[in-house]
Chain A
Amino acid sequence: MQPNINAGVIVMQNRNKTKMKIQDPEARIKNFREVALGYSFEDAKEEAQRCLNCKNPQCISGCPVNVDIRGFIQEIKKGNFENALKIIKNTNGLPAICGRVCPQEKQCEERCVLGKIGEPVAIGRLERFLGDNFSIRTEPPSKKREEKIAIIGGGPSGITAAIDLRKEGFDVTIFEAFPKLGGVLLYGIPQFRLPKEIVETETNELKNLGIKIETNHIIGRSLPFEKIVEEYDAIYIGIGAGAPRFMGIPGTNLKNVFSSSEILTRVNLMKAYEFPEYGTPVFCKEKAAVIGAGNVTMDVARTLKRLGAEEVTIIYRRTENEVPARKEEFDHAREEGVNFLWLTQPIEYLPDETKTLKAIKCIKMELGEPDSSGRRKPIPIEGSEFILDFQMVVEAIGQKSNSVLKAFEGLQLNKWGYIDVNEETLQTNIENVFAGGDIVTGSATVILAMGAGKKAAESILAFLNEKKEVKTL
Chain B
Amino acid sequence: MNEIIEINCIANLTYEIIFCNGEICENSKPGQFLILQKDEFSERVPLTIVNCEDGKVRVIIKVVGRSSLEISEMKVGDSFKNVVGPLGNHSEIRKYGNIVCIGGGVGAAPLLPVTRELKKTGNKIISILGAADANSLILDDEFEKISEKLYITTNDGSKGKKGFVTDILKELLKEKKVDIIWAIGPMIMMREVTKLSVENAVPCWVSLNPIMVDGTGMCGACRVHIKNEIKFACVDGPEFSGADVNWDELISRLSQYRDQEKSATEYKCRCDSNAK
Please report which residues of chain A, range 264-287, place their CB below 8 angstroms from some CB of chain B when the two chains form the complex: 265-266, 269-270, 275-281, 283
- Which residue of A242, A254, A280 is within 8 Å of B213 (Cβ)? A280
What residues of A have a CB within 8 angstroms of the CB of B223 in the complex? 246, 252-253
Selecting from A89-97, A221-229, A363-371, A458-466, the interface stretch reads A221-229
The answer to whether B248 touches A402 (Cβ under 8 A) is no
Chain B residues, Cβ within 8 Å of A278: 41
Q: Shortest distance in angstroms between B188's beta carbon and chain A's nearest beta carbon? A: 15
Is residue B81 contacting chain A, with contact meaning CB distance below 8 A? yes
Please, which residues of chain A bring their CB within 8 A of the CB of B230? 246, 248, 252-253
Residues of B within 8 Å of A252, CB to CB, are 223, 230
**Interface mask (B232-263 → A, CB under 8 Å = 1, otherwise 0):** 10011000000000101110110111001100
Q: Once the chains are docked, how many angstroms separate the CA of A278 from the CA of B39?
A: 10
Q: Does A87 contact B (CB under 8 A)?
A: no
A242 touches B218 (CB 8 A): yes
A279 touches B67 (CB 8 A): yes
Q: Does A71 contact B (CB under 8 A)?
A: no
State whether B224 touches A253 (Cβ < 8 A): yes
B83 partner, pick from A216, A223, A261, beta carbons under 8 A = A216
Partner of B216, one of A256, A354, A402: A402
Q: A217-B84, A266-B213, A279-B43 are in contact. Are A402 and B235 (CB under 8 A)?
A: yes
User: Chain A 171-191, CB within 8 Å of chain B: the 1/0 string?
Assistant: 000000111000000010000
Least CB distance, A417 to chain B, in whole angstroms? 12
Cβ 8 A contact of A177, one of B86, B216, B261: B216
Docked-complex contact B246 and A259, CB < 8 angstroms? no
Please tell me if B225 contacts chain A, counting CB pairs below 8 Å. Answer: yes
Nearest opposing residue in chain A for B235, CB measure: A403
The chain A residue sitting closest to B26, CB to CB, is: A223
In angstroms, Cα B214 to Cα A261, docked, is 10
CA A354 – CA B251 in complex, angstroms?
11
Given A275-B260, A404-B216, check contact A253 B41 (CB 8 Å): no
Question: Given A222-B85, A243-B218, are A279 and B70 neighbors across the interface (CB < 8 Å)?
Answer: yes
Chain B's closest residue to A261 (CB) is: B219
**Chain A nearest CB: distance from B66 CB in Å?**
6
- A265 CB contact (under 8 Å) in B66, B218, B225, B256: B218
Least Cβ–Cβ distance between A452 and chain B, in angstroms: 20
Q: Which residue of B lies closest to A403 (CB)?
A: B235
Which of A242, A279, A402 has the largest count of B CB atoms less than 10 A from its CB?
A279
Query: Is A178 a contact partner of B214 (Cβ separation < 8 A)?
Result: yes
Known A-B contacts A222-B23, A223-B27, A255-B253; the reply to A279 vs B83 at CB < 8 A is no
Would you call B160 an interface residue if the criterion is a C-beta within 8 Å of the partner chain's C-beta atoms? no
Most buried by B among A217, A218, A246, A265: A218
Per DSSP, chain B at the interface is mixed
Given A255-B256, A262-B220, A280-B213, decide whether A221 and B44 contact each other with a Cβ distance below 8 A.
Answer: no
The answer, yes or no, to whether A195 is at the interface (CB within 8 Å) is: no
Q: How far is the CB of B135 from chain A (nearest CB, A)?
A: 28
Tell me if B158 is interfacial: C-beta within 8 Å of chain A: no
Contacts of B23 in A (CB 8 A): 222-223
Confirm or deny: B196 has a beta carbon within 8 angstroms of a beta carbon on chain A.
Answer: no
A355 CB-CB contact with B under 8 Å: yes
A179, A221, A243: most-surrounded residue (chain B CB, <10 A): A221
**Is A244 an interface residue, CB under 8 A from the partner?**
yes
In the assembled complex, B82 has its CB within 8 A of some CB on chain A: yes
Return chain B residues, CB-CB under 8 Å to A277: 41
A223 to chain B: which residues have CB within 8 Å?
23, 27
Q: From residue A309, how far is it (CB to closest CB) to chain B in Å?
A: 15
- Neighbour of B44 across the interface among A262, A270, A283, A404, CB < 8 A: A270
B257 closest partner in A (C-beta) = A281
Q: Which residues of A contact B224 (CB under 8 A)?
A: 253
Q: Mark B15-40, 1 if CB is under 8 A from A, else 0.
A: 00000000110010000000001000
Asked if B8 is at the interface of the complex by the 8 Å CB criterion, the answer is: no
Within 8 A of B (CB), among A149-198: 177-179, 187
Write out the residue numbers on chain B whose beta carbons fall within 8 Å of the beta carbon of A218: 84, 87, 216
If the complex has contacts A253-B253, A255-B256, A355-B252, are A265 and B84 also in contact, measured as CB distance less than 8 A? no
Q: How far is the CA of A355 from the CA of B43 in the complex (A)?
A: 26
Q: Are A221 and B213 neighbours in the complex by a CB distance under 8 Å?
A: no
Contact check: which of B66, B70, B219, B255 meets A259 at CB < 8 Å? B219
Nearest opposing residue in chain B for A259, CB measure: B220
CB distance from B27 to the nearest CB of A (A): 6
Instruction: Say yes or no: A402 contacts B213, CB within 8 Å.
Output: no
From 65 to 105 in chain B, residues with beta carbon under 8 angstroms from any chain A beta carbon are 66-67, 70, 81-88
- B186 close to A (CB within 8 Å): no
A178 CA to B83 CA in the complex, in Å? Answer: 10
B contact residues around A356 at 8 Å (CB): 252
Q: How far is the CA of A354 from the CA of B86 in the complex (A)?
A: 35
Instruction: Tell me the nearest residue of chain B to A281, going by C-beta.
Output: B260
Which chain B residues border A279 with CB–CB below 8 Å? 41-43, 66-67, 70
Residues of A within 8 A of B157 (CB): none
Check B150 for interface membership: any CB of A closer than 8 A. Answer: no
What are 7 A-B pairs with beta-carbon distances under 8 A?
Answer: A243-B218, A252-B230, A253-B225, A261-B220, A262-B220, A403-B232, A404-B217
The 10 closest A-B pairs by CB, nearest first: A281-B260, A259-B220, A242-B218, A279-B43, A244-B220, A355-B252, A216-B84, A262-B219, A179-B82, A402-B217
Measured CB to CB, the residues of B under 8 A from A are: 23-24, 27, 37, 41-44, 66-67, 70, 81-88, 213-214, 216-221, 223-225, 230, 232, 235-236, 246, 248-250, 252-253, 255-257, 260-261
